[in-house]
Amino acid sequence: MNLKTLTQAPALLCTICFISGPLAHASADTPAPGAAKESDSAKEKGFLTFSPPQGWRMADQKDLPKSVKLMVVGQGSFAFPPSINLGTEKFQGTLREYLGMIKEINNAQGAEWKDLGTIKTMAGNASLSQVDSKTEWGDVRMMHAVMVRDGNAYILTCAALKEEFSKFYKDFFSSMRSLNFTNDPIRSLTGKEQREEMISLREDLQKSFKQLADQNQIDLRKKEKALELFESPEFQQSVWTPFKEKLKKDFAEYGSEWQNELLLYVREDLIQKK
């Protein structure tokens, strides 16, 4: 079974157990100069991240539901491969209420849902639950680590065929325990090579910004001057646009929402850096 078929499988989508509608992705384009004030005053957003098992490949974001932020797939012995996906949705309520609705939905679909208590993660305690469901590929077992915080529900779902689920216990639990929040979108990159590449790209961009400031005798300690340089045609055309194109090409699998957050993060770092 190919990756796209897996991400479209109804049984797998049910493992996410979203109660409300999926979140829409934001545009990956940076705000126009006239929208600068909005991003300046925007609140920092936290990213929930996890460490995937070594050697697992990432699914392309365009093949995933919009509420699924990322998904990694391993190698199993059958057509249905093991996978881990991280999803989020808006939810105004308590964790107990969210779990109650998850249980109700799964029971209505004939799936066996069990509350397994809690699991300690780097982001704090999360609810741990298990669902067994019959699919066209056989009996599938899913395990969820669920947190509800600040009006959002976060769900890490580990899935594999029931007959080989135990083979991946160590990988699944390691990834669940690694769940953590960060305000740095670069740290949310799951691959070491990609993190290193993005750090290098960001450092090159910062150097170019500083060089242009020196050439034009601009005092970057003054935020309004830094903003003017950022919005200048010289910087936009020679540095920022190539950076955006590189981002879309090399980090496409992380999706437009992550790309947008990364652009805002890098932009604000440039104009606010003292």
Contact yes or no for 74/168 (Cβ under 8 A): yes
Per-residue confidence of the chain (274 residues) as pLDDT tens digits?
Answer: 444 444 444 334 334 444 333 322 222 233 333 323 333 323 344 678 888 998 898 887 777 887 888 889 999 888 899 999 999 899 999 999 999 998 888 888 888 899 999 999 999 999 999 999 888 889 999 999 999 998 999 999 999 999 999 999 999 999 999 998 887 888 778 777 888 999 999 999 999 999 999 999 999 989 899 999 999 999 999 999 999 999 989 888 787 778 888 898 899 889 886 4
Tens digit of pLDDT for each residue in 156-191? 999 999 999 999 999 999 999 999 888 788 877 877
The predicted pLDDT at position 17 comes to 40
The predicted pLDDT at position 20 comes to 36
Tokens describing residue 170: 């160590």
Contact yes or no for 26/142 (Cβ under 8 A): no
Separation of alpha carbons 273 and 267, rounded Å: 10
The predicted pLDDT at position 43 comes to 37
The predicted pLDDT at position 19 comes to 39
Tens digit of pLDDT for each residue in 226-257? 999 999 999 999 999 999 999 989 888 787 77
Separation of alpha carbons 10 and 129, rounded Å: 19
